Chain A
Amino acid sequence: MAEKANPQRAFLEVSDLSVQFPTEDGIVRAVDGVSFAIERGKTLAIVGESGSGKSVTAQAVMGLINKRNADVSGEVIFDGEDLVAMPEEGLRKLRGNKMAMIFQDPMSSLHPFYRIGDQLTEAVNAHEKVSKASARDRAIEMLHKVGIPAPAKRFDDYPHQFSGGMRQRVMIAMALINSPSLLIADEPTTALDVTVQAQIIELISQLQREFDTAVILITHDLGIVAHVADEVAVMYGARVVESGSVDDIFYHPQMPYTLGLLASIPRLNQVHGDRLDPIPGNPPSPLRLPAGCVFNPRCGYQDRVTGDLCQTQRPALESVGAGHRVRCHLPATERQAVAELVLSALGRSSA
């Protein structure tokens, strides 16, 4: 397929993706002009609060948004093909095959009435004509790969006979059974015990190396992001407000929201009794996104911006370095000053 791909294009390139749901109360802007790109073998982390549009973005990429209930616009170029314009049958052939997804809650993501093995072979048979025996072999091999003990025996078990972590392993096995080149993991560890979380993340990374998969990891756990991501896109109020390499985001953050996120992580070296620094206020309702910059009602640095730009003008995604982009009205020098201020308060310096 390599000859089909445009060399200028990234393996997956999302540009200006918007998803709107018309409802009785008005239009819900779940995703508003989101752009990002990712190469094979790399991991892009999408971070942000609940309701910032992370999951809807992922589902839009997978073509899981029902176009009857939503307007999807923009481009999702996946290996040279635009998924937004693609008819449902084409998307279906890609889903679970060239691109796959694992979800937040493994307890409810497997069908409770069907055997694990049947749910796995179903994923094989949806895309390939293979014999029952070879589909079974592949499923058992996959279960083995994700670390299910005695996979041939567990093949015939039902989901309720598995623990949460084991179910998430099954979900990963199901997602990777057709060796997809893109894997979207939507908060894959949120519902799991902390000790299991690390195992699952490690498993995803290991299988990513084996299959050379591009991984989009949706999470609000910045610890995981620092650990596995190559690129990071920070989402807030349906938009990407800052994106860049993991170093850019952790060491040279520029957008006040990103700074707020970093400041709100508990730190082990924190003085006991010191309070965490949460971002004041609540995320905006996607029904009524603020005019101008979506973060303006919660941003403490608006006085450094001349005029009422923050309230009236939507900031453009501005390039501030190789691959590092920021959506903020603060002038470059002010952004530096603000970053300096916040990071030094955290006991770090923005070198």
Chain B
Amino acid sequence: MSAYVVRRVISMIILLLLLTLVVFILFSLLPADPARLTCGKGCTPEVLEANRHKLGLDLPVIQQYWEFMKGLFVGRIYAADSPDPVVCNAPCLGYSFKRGEEVLVLIKDRLPATIWLALGAFILWLAAGISLGIYAALRRGRWQDKTVMGISLAGYSLPSFFLGLMAIFFIVIRLQLLPYPAYVSPFENPIQFFQTMLLPWIVLAILYAAFYMRLTRNQMLEVLGEDYIRTARAKGLPERVVIRKHALRAGLTPIVTAAGLDLAGLLGGAIITESIFSLPGLGSLAVNSVNDADLPVIVGITLVTATFIIVANLVVDLLYAVIDPRVRLV
């Protein structure tokens, strides 16, 4: 098991290195010139050239990559030979001249809102999706099942920007049940935090819950037909034990996979939901950076998101072994 983890971590690091290279090359091929974008209206070729040098964009791509990787481990000084060098401490994910800030700092500032949004929605959608999925499976073919599946279809079909705008329009503006969303840290003002997050959580959760209802229902229907479920009933176990302990556990594997990867994906930022509810998260940072062609920030966010997903993959695989004793991690 521990040997397995070590091997997986090593391959994870290799994968991330390759990924940085690909991302780097991809973005260097973009037609946008980051140096031009830092230059403003009264740009002269001399200033442009100076900026290009400052950003290290005058170097070949491979050397830029090398500088980037070096910065990750030992930090980096931009324009060291100029009178105003810019210091970026290790681990340096790059420096946004557009925003005048280290990329890592930018990401660190935005990460909490994204994490809170993802976690809250995650808990909501798992609770709603799994419980309604089980409920529908146990009443297969009846009106309760059809109702749940109808809700699922609706949740699946409604785009989150529509749901989000409707929620703001009716609940915040018309009925004034909640104040207009304004993100604060939960440690600063928990009440305002919850008031702000409630709608984004629900809007985001509806989309995912729709999928988890279906997934859970189908898993449960499959498992409930298994022989060992009949054995559990023949033993005289109460039905709720049969469902929760025997059936749910057996149907859990694909749900865990989906949940792990969905959560990881969301930690990279829920672009639409964050934008609608003006949450200062990674998603809105990514959108703004793309609009600004703020290359270092885009590369940084891509890498952070990819890391989340790769780590989530490992965690999911480890969880398999915990859930199913037949799984051997080799």
Chain A residues with CB under 8 Å of chain B are 62, 64, 88, 92-97, 100-101, 103, 105, 108-113, 122-123, 126-127, 158, 160, 171, 174-175
Contact (Cβ within 8 A) A64 B227: no
Contact (Cβ within 8 A) B324 A96: no
Q: Which residues of B contact A108 (CB under 8 A)?
A: 226-228
Instruction: Report the interface size class on chain B.
Output: 20 to 34
Q: For the complex, what is the distance from the CA of A62 to the CA of B250, rounded to whole Å?
A: 24
Kindly state whether residue B231 has any CB partner on chain A within 8 Å. Answer: yes
CB distance from B145 to the nearest CB of A (A): 12
Contact (Cβ within 8 A) A109 B230: yes
> Which stretch (B22-30, B164-172, B233-241, B285-293) binds chain A?
B233-241
Q: List 21 A-B contacts (CB under 8 A).
A: A64-B230, A88-B239, A92-B237, A95-B234, A95-B236, A96-B234, A109-B227, A109-B231, A112-B324, A112-B325, A113-B249, A113-B250, A113-B324, A126-B236, A126-B237, A126-B241, A127-B236, A158-B325, A158-B326, A160-B325, A175-B234
Q: For the complex, what is the distance from the CA of A92 to the CA of B246, rounded to whole Å?
A: 16
CB distance from A157 to the nearest CB of B (A): 9
Contact (Cβ within 8 A) A112 B228: yes
CB distance from B153 to the nearest CB of A (A): 22
The 6 closest A-B pairs by CB, nearest first: A96-B236, A96-B235, A95-B236, A108-B227, A111-B228, A123-B235
Contact (Cβ within 8 A) B233 A95: yes
Q: Which residues of B contact A158 (CB under 8 A)?
A: 325-326
Q: Which residues of B contact A100 (CB under 8 A)?
A: 234
Q: What's the count of A-B pairs with C-beta under 8 Å?
A: 69
CB distance from B247 to the nearest CB of A (A): 10
Q: For the complex, what is the distance from the CA of A92 to the CA of B324, rounded to whole Å?
A: 28
Kindly state whether residue B329 has any CB partner on chain A within 8 Å. Answer: no
Considering only CB atoms, which chain A residue lies closest to B224 in the complex? Answer: A66
User: Contacts A64-B230, A113-B325 given; 11 further ones with Cβ under 8 A?
Assistant: A92-B238, A93-B236, A94-B236, A103-B227, A105-B227, A109-B228, A109-B231, A110-B228, A111-B246, A126-B236, A158-B326
Kindly state whether residue B303 has any CB partner on chain A within 8 Å. Answer: no
Contact (Cβ within 8 A) B235 A112: no
Kindly state whether residue B232 has any CB partner on chain A within 8 Å. Answer: yes
Q: Which residues of A contact B325 (CB under 8 A)?
A: 112-113, 158, 160
Considering only CB atoms, which chain B residue lies closest to A88 in the complex? Answer: B239
Contact (Cβ within 8 A) B326 A101: no
Q: Which residues of B contact A64 (CB under 8 A)?
A: 230, 233-234
Considering only CB atoms, which chain A residue lies closest to B238 in the complex? Answer: A92
User: Could you tell me which residues of chain B, from 217 to 269, have a CB within 8 Å of some CB in chain A?
Assistant: 226-228, 230-239, 241, 246, 249-250
Q: For the complex, what is the distance from the CA of A101 to the CA of B230, rounded to whole Å?
A: 10
CB distance from B245 to the nearest CB of A (A): 8
Q: A112-B250, A113-B323 are in contact. Are A171 and B237 (CB under 8 A)?
A: no
Contact (Cβ within 8 A) B235 A126: yes
